[in-house]
Structure 1
Amino acid sequence: MRLDRAQAESLLRRMEGRKVAVLGDVMLDEYLFGEVSRISPEAPVPIVRVVREQAVLGGAANVAANLKALGAEPLLIGTLQKDVAGDRLLGLLGRLGISISGLVLDTSRPTIIKTRVVGQQQQMLRIDREESGPPEAAVLMGLKTRLEQALAEASALIVSDYAKGVVNAPVMEAVRSICAAKDLPWIVDPKPAHKALYQGATLMTPNTKEASELAQRPAKSDADVADAGRAILAELGLQGLLVTRSERGMALFAPDSDHMAPWMVPTEAREVFDVSGAGDTVIAAFSAAIAAGADWREAAMLANAAAGVVVAKVGTATVTPAELLAHYHDQEAN
């Protein structure tokens, strides 16, 4: 079962302009593309001659970029420093028309940068520049204020947790309180070490490795995923779960199935070039669809198709409605 082109087009139209809040760790993703032709005489490592550089939004900012590309209106909540990387982030957000009013200045740590070195179209190395940990009291207060302001107008909330400090116990207590009062769905891209913070979430979107760590049991086979998913749902009191399984597609645990067995969604990726940021695309597409009134299966199918498009691109990427509709057109033609 999959959406046809007309159903996808209708859903994408309903998503247009929908406000979705994104709370999480904002990062700059930097790419150094180069050529590799020899080994260094100084150490047994390849020499990469850099021929091109690219900087894109990463972490929660990439989720916001995915929402914007899909036609939704992201309300981004996070922190950054007034440094070179922070200025580049602000410039990228500005060019995409993403509001920066939800960002809080944190002078105690640098803006997070992840630098990927790519040689001959293959990622060779990643360099992380970051300082994680809970924010200072003033920053924490700022985050809670921005969260309350964003949720006053959003139709859904995404929690994009990279375990760098923005997603913490006091902030998540505010999430639970505000979302309960407003009956807002909140959807989490989790880090297993923060499992307790997600108690009572509407839905989580772990990959199989994260699902295995969350449930403390295997999550490879269909039966494994079913067992692990039920364990996670029971422990955290979630309404549902969407497990992304790479080439095996997705497994959706929805309330209408009483969580007994997941609904398996086969992959739509025909070519996998780079999975960087694919999880951001999934949670953005799913959440925007939910905000637009889609049911969970429709949202999962759209998210699956969006992931199938984005993994065929190089680097952290986004997908547009036009690309998604072309994807559906190609499917129907075949």
Structure 2
Amino acid sequence: MRLDRSQAETLLRRMEGRKVAVLGDVMLDEYLFGEVNRISPEAPVPIVRVVREQAVLGGAANVAANLKALGAEPLLMGTLQKDAAGDRLLGLLGRLGISISGLVLDPSRPTIIKTRVVGQQQQMLRIDREEAGPPEAAVLLGLRERLARAVEEASALIVSDYAKGVVCEPVMATVRELCAARDIPWIVDPKPAHKALYRGATLMTPNTKEASELAQRPARSDAEAAEAGRAILAELGLKGLLVTRSERGMALFAPGGDHGAPWMIPTEAREVFDVSGAGDTVIAAFSAAVASGADWREAAMLANAAAGVVVAKVGTATVTPAELLTHYHEQEAN
């Protein structure tokens, strides 16, 4: 079962302008693209002659970019420093028309940068510049104030956890309280080491590896994914779970559904160049659809299609409604 083009178009129209809050670790993704023609005489490593550079939004900021590309209105919350990377990040957000009012300046830690070196279309190296750890008291206060404002306006909240410090117990206590008071869903892209922080979430979107680590058991086959999913749901008291399984598609454990036999969705990716940021696309599309009144199966099918489009692009990327509708049109033609 999959959405047809007409159903997808209706759902995408309903998502236009829908406000979705995004809380998490904001970062800058840099790409150095180059040619590789020889090995260094100094060490047995390839020499990459850089021919092009690109900077894009990363982490929670990429989730916001995905929401914006889909037509929703992201309310982004996180931290950054007023350094060179922070200025570049603010410039990228400004060009996309994403509000920066939810960002908190953290003078104690530099803006996170992930630099990927790509030679001959292959990622060869990643360089991370970051200082992970819980925010200071003043920064925590700022995050909680911005959360209160965002949840008043939003129809859903995404928690984009990259384990850099923003997603911590004081902030998550505020998330639980505010979302319960407003009765809005909060949806988590998790880091297994932080699983206790996600207790009571509406839904999580782990990949196969994360699901295995969360459940502390294999999660590769259909039967293993079902067993791992049930264990995660029971331990954390979630309403549902969406496990992204790469070439195996997705497994959806929906509220009121049969958690003994999750709904399996086959992959829609035809060719895969780069999975960087694919999880950001999935949680953005799913959450925007749910915020717009879609049922969970519709939301999962739309997210699956969006992931199928974005992994065919090189680097951290987003997908637009036009690209999604073209994807559905090509499916129907075939």
TM class, shorter-chain normalised?
over 0.9
Q: Distance in 2 between matches of 1:63 and 1:10?
A: 22
CA deviation string 1:194-252 (max 9, x = no partner): 00000000000000000000000000100000000000000000000000000000000
**Aligned residue for 2:145?**
145
**Aligned residue for 1:316?**
316
**Aligned residue for 1:232?**
232
Q: Distance in 2 between matches of 1:133 and 1:262?
A: 36
**Aligned residue for 2:300?**
300
**Aligned residue for 1:132?**
132
Paired residues for 1:43-192 under 5 Å: 43-192=43-192
Residue 297 of structure 1, CA deviation = 0.1
**Aligned residue for 2:14?**
14
Residue 257 of structure 1, CA deviation = 1.3
CA deviation string 1:284-325 (max 9, x = no partner): 000000000000000000000000000000000000000000
* Aligned-partner residue type, residue 5 of structure 2: R
Q: TM-score, normalised by structure 1?
A: 1.00
Q: Distance in 2 between matches of 1:220 and 1:154?
A: 35
* Aligned-partner residue type, residue 119 of structure 1: G
* Aligned-partner residue type, residue 25 of structure 1: D
* Aligned-partner residue type, residue 104 of structure 2: V
Is 1:287 equivalent to 2:287 in the alignment?
A: yes
Determine helix, strand or coil for the equivalent of 2:153.
coil
Q: Distance in 2 between matches of 1:99 and 1:160?
A: 17
**Aligned residue for 1:195?**
195
**Aligned residue for 1:29?**
29
Determine helix, strand or coil for the equivalent of 2:82.
coil
Residue 256 of structure 1, CA deviation = 2.4
Q: TM-score, normalised by structure 2?
A: 1.00
Determine helix, strand or coil for the equivalent of 2:256.
helix
Determine helix, strand or coil for the equivalent of 1:255.
coil
Q: Distance in 2 between matches of 1:168 and 1:36?
A: 42
Matched-pair identity in %: 89
* Aligned-partner residue type, residue 135 of structure 1: P
Q: Distance in 1 between matches of 2:163 and 2:220?
A: 24
Q: Distance in 2 between matches of 1:221 and 1:259?
A: 16
Uncovered stretches (5+) of structure 1, i.e. residues with no partner: none
Q: Distance in 2 between matches of 1:174 and 1:74?
A: 19
Q: Distance in 1 between matches of 2:327 and 2:256?
A: 29
Residue 258 of structure 1, CA deviation = 3.8
Paired residues for 1:246-257 under 5 Å: 246-257=246-257
- The number of equivalent residue pairs is 334
Is 1:271 equivalent to 2:294 in the alignment?
A: no
Q: Distance in 1 between matches of 2:239 and 2:111?
A: 34
Determine helix, strand or coil for the equivalent of 1:256.
coil
* Aligned-partner residue type, residue 263 of structure 2: W
Q: Distance in 2 between matches of 1:61 and 1:251?
A: 26
Q: Distance in 1 between matches of 2:36 and 2:93?
A: 33
Residue 261 of structure 1, CA deviation = 1.3
Q: Distance in 2 between matches of 1:273 and 1:301?
A: 21
Residue 69 of structure 1, CA deviation = 0.0
Determine helix, strand or coil for the equivalent of 2:212.
helix
**Aligned residue for 2:40?**
40
* Aligned-partner residue type, residue 296 of structure 1: W
Determine helix, strand or coil for the equivalent of 2:220.
coil
Q: Distance in 1 between matches of 2:74 and 2:269?
A: 26
Determine helix, strand or coil for the equivalent of 1:115.
strand
* Aligned-partner residue type, residue 137 of structure 1: A
Q: Distance in 2 between matches of 1:276 and 1:255?
A: 29
Determine helix, strand or coil for the equivalent of 2:159.
strand
Is 1:220 equivalent to 2:220 in the alignment?
A: yes
CA deviation string 1:61-117 (max 9, x = no partner): 000000000000000000000000000000000000000000000000000000000
* Aligned-partner residue type, residue 105 of structure 1: L
Determine helix, strand or coil for the equivalent of 1:257.
coil
Determine helix, strand or coil for the equivalent of 1:274.
coil
Residue 255 of structure 1, CA deviation = 1.3
